[in-house]
Structure 1
Amino acid sequence: MADVAARAGVSHQTVSRVLNGSPRVAPDTRERVVQAIRDLGYRRNVAARALVTARSATLGVITSSSVLYGPTSTLIAVEEAAREQGWFTSVAAIGTYDAEAVHHVLEHFMSQAVEGVVVIAPQEDVGRAIDAFDAPIPVVLIAARESTVERTIPLAVDHAAGAALVVEHLLELGHESVLHVAGPQDWFDAQQRLAGWRAALTDHGAPVPDPVIADWSADRGHEIGRELVERIAAGHGPTAVFAANDQLALGLVRAFWEAGVRIPEDVSLVGFDDVEGAGQFIPPLTTVRQPFAELGRRSVELLFEAVAGGSPQGALIPPELIVRSSTAPPRARRR
């Protein structure tokens, strides 16, 4: 830093302000310092800085070792948001969600002196394990549930609101009701999507059929689709189906195609997530888009506020319904 200061003709303190993003530096001075840094190839020694400041500028992230779209997209968004703020992330992917495994990871983070932890916790077991761990640092829990632990800050996409958007869209098209192919009910996201679907139908005075409980896979969607085909062919099947994620919807699409059931002429179909390529389904899939970038940015903001001594409140981030060609009025209404 002394070499940079000498080359730029400024003080050591000015170089420090530039490196830390302080607004108290004139633009031309800032440019001279930045150019000197480029010329000298200067890089901050993070380990040395941590020793001096007692700050690691590192966040821990706990996530699932699965490659499911939602948790993976959330992880990427958190890492990008932290990096944009000059912070590092230490990631731990776990395959089991028992308390011992989660506590082991949290203790590992404590030994790295991370300043906060983001937990991508879509499942009940993870939520319980986090609640049972008395972390001395702030924790942002990305899960569609509340937390009663003082230093744990809940943050999530509003999955119930997303499901309500689906139901309202289909009812406005003229469908009398909507069948829900639900995700696994030990996942908070799936619980909230089912609750939002049921509440929206009830609020509109529409019949509430028994949901079909599934996992998140296209294979299971295909199996369920084959069962629904027989009901649709007999004339007493659903005219609209809401799948809890786009993979389930993909399996349904194949089952309907194999049986000659047309989307949306015979049945309207909606997914959830807006995965890459959802617009290339045949037909392009109407689905709920999760704002993963916003989720990552907000999680980092909440941690920074907590690390700085604030008392941030949890939040629900609204999703967006993306209407494509897989939904239309039922056949009776089109006539």
Structure 2
Amino acid sequence: MPRKPNQEVIDSLRKEILSGRYDHSSFLPSERQLAADFEEGRGVIRTALRNLCGEGLLEIIPQRGICIRKERREKRLRHFLVRQHSFSRDAHETFGILVGICDAASRNYAEAILSFCPPCPDIRELVARYRRNELQGIIFIERPDTPAEQLNSSGIPWVVANRELAFDAVFSGMDFRSIGRLAGQRLLAAGHRRIGTVTGPLDTFIFKEMLAGFRGALAEEEVLLNPDWVIPLGSDSVPGPGGKLYGILSSPERPTAFFAMRDHRAAKLYDACSRFGLKIPQDLSVIGYDDVSWPLAEAHGLTTIRQETHAIGSSSVELLKEWFETGTPPKSRVFTGALVERSSIDKPSA
């Protein structure tokens, strides 16, 4: 009498095959190995394999074994690791990127495995997990915490979401030079010619690129950026009396407008202006960048250039999917950012 099919085993084996656990270019493990893996008798496994052949999922190659049918062998991204080197409750930018990653994973019926605990797993562990098909690629947020040379030699597809430093990688991120240009063009269009900027460390890729784009936009209108009005301001620093920003704002020859390279720097500019009784935009126009790092930006009417966090996260999944499924590193994707008009820019006061 034919053995009654064990539906639970059939369903489990089908799920394992469709998940990509088994090498689609080779034969399935032996009945003996499958029986050990599923803790079932060989007869139960044999019946399950016969049923899956009947479904068209598997095919029997006489005197060789059983393999996945050719038309079922398309590679598909199913589970990938997401690494973030640090995390805090104020990481508004990271939250937006993660939402984009999770939305794209859901659209592709893939599992995003989030990992925030330092340090990153050893490369040998990552390779072992990749070969066991426990992960099919890695998305690093901002930068890899595993050396790029090791990742490249491992064969694991990897992508950087929101690259802000200069290194060679497949990435999704912002075009910082175009953001600087857009900020400069917007202030020039309002009639400003005396323009300053508050920036981050100028030896950092993101700020060097934004400053280059900003300076270029001004130069096209024959406006020179006064180097004394380029004010580095750390993310944790608080401008105070005696500082460069206070000295410039207290001068009668101060700029009529500022580009704040990150909205949290615009917040510090707003605070400094309030101490001098300067009104925005009547006395000073301000444009920012990101629309995420200052929660009160909208309430204060800050005109800014949006950092496309959701699109960055979503596209990083599409890049990883393309790399895994084609075997070829894809071209990086960059976004220019949209201008978010509010009320912090006006024409220069007479």
Instruction: Indicate the SS of the match to 2:254.
Output: coil
Residue in structure 1 matched with residue 345 of structure 2 by the alignment: 327
Q: Write the letter of the residue equivalent to 2:85.
A: S
For the 8 Å contact 2:77–2:325, the answer to whether it is kept is no
1:58 aligns with 2:79: yes
TM-score, L = length of structure 2: 0.69
- Cα displacement (A) at 1:238: 1.3
Q: 1:214 to 1:66 in 2, by over 3 A?
A: farther
1:33-182 aligned at under 5 Å gives the runs 49=19, 51-52=21-22, 57-67=78-88, 68-93=91-116, 101=119, 104=121, 106-113=123-130, 114-121=135-142, 126=144, 129-131=147-149, 133=151, 134-142=153-161, 143-144=163-164, 148=168, 152-182=169-199
What's the CA shift string for 1:294-318, capped at 9, x where partnerless?
1122111111111112532112112
Once superposed, what is the RMSD of the aligned Cα atoms? 3.4
Structure 2: tracts of 5 or more residues without a match: 25-75
Q: Which amino acid aligns with 1:80?
A: D
User: What amino acid maps onto 1:250 in structure 2?
Assistant: A
Distance in 2 (alpha carbons) for counterparts of 1:118 and 1:57: 14
Distance 1:76-1:105 versus aligned 2 partners, 3 A rule:
farther
Task: Determine the structure 1 residue equivalent to 2:336.
Answer: 318
SS in 2 for 1:212: strand
Mapped to 2, the partners of 1:198 and 1:225 lie a distance apart of: 27
Which residue does 2:252 correspond to in 1? 235
Larger radius of gyration: 2
| 2:315 aligned with 1:298 | yes
Match of 1:60, SS state, is strand
Q: Taking structure 1 as reference, are residues 175 and 132 closer, same or farther at Cα in structure 2, changes over 3 Å only? A: farther
Deviation per residue, 1:181-200 (Å, 9 max, x gap): 11234643333222222222
Paired-residue identity, %: 25
Give the AA of the match of 1:216: S
Secondary structure in 2 aligned to 1:272? strand
Unaligned runs of at least 5 residues, structure 1: 5-11, 17-41, 96-100
Q: Which structure has more helix as a fraction of its residues?
A: 1
Q: Is the 8 A contact 1:184 1:213 kept in 2?
A: yes
Q: Distance in 2 between matches of 1:105 and 1:288?
A: 38
Does the C-alpha gap of structure 1 residues 79 and 47 become closer, same or farther in structure 2, counting only changes over 3 Å? Answer: farther
CA distance in 1, matches of 2:248, 2:167: 42
| Structure 1 position 87, deviation (Å) | 1.3
Cα distance change on mapping 1:200 and 1:185 into 2, 3 Å = same
Higher relative contact order (CA closer than 8 Å, sequence separation 6+): 2
Instruction: Please give the secondary structure, in 2, of the residue aligned with 1:298.
Output: helix
How many equivalent residue pairs?
Answer: 281
> What secondary structure is seen at the aligned counterpart in 2 of 1:294?
helix
- When structure 1 is superposed on structure 2, of 53-62 and 305-314 the one drifting more is 53-62
Normalised TM-score (structure 1): 0.72
| Structure 2 contact 195–256 (Cα < 8 Å) conserved | yes
Which deviates further from its counterpart, 165-174 or 183-192?
Answer: 183-192
Cα deviation, 1:268-296, whole Å, max 9, x if unaligned, reads 111111127445333x1011101122112
Give the aligned residue type for 2:155: P
